[in-house]
Amino acid sequence: MTKAEKELHFIQLGLMQKHTRHFRHFIDQWFCFKNNYVNRNGNADWHKIAFNELVSEAAIGLSLKEVVHKEHLFH
C-alpha cells in the first residue's frame, strides 16, 4: 500500500466513523503523496505545493513568495 493509499484509507475510516476533526491534515498528506510533493525523506512536503497548484492572482504578484500560505478555499 502506497503512502497516498494509506492517507486515503484514514480519510475513509474517518468518514465511516463520522470523525472529521483531522480531515484537513489527512487530505493535505494524501494530496502531497498523490502528486509527489515529498521531501528527500519521503515525507509529505506541503511547501512544495506553493506555486505548483492553483494560485491566486494576488499571490502570484507578490515579490516575497515566503509570505504566501496555502489555503483550502476555492471560488
Report pLDDT digits (tens) over 12-44: 888 888 877 777 888 888 888 899 999 999 888
Angle of the 23-34 helix axis to the 3-17 helix axis, nearest 10: 150
Could you say which DSSP state residue 43 is in? -
What per-residue confidence (pLDDT) applies to 62?
Answer: 72
Record the pTM.
0.64
Give me the residues paired with residue 21 across strands.
none
- Pick the more confident residue, 59 or 31: 31
Report pLDDT digits (tens) over 64-73: 656 666 665 5
- pLDDT grade, residue 75 (50/70/90)? very low
Three-state SS at 40? coil
Give me the residues paired with residue 44 across strands.
38
What per-residue confidence (pLDDT) applies to 66?
Answer: 60
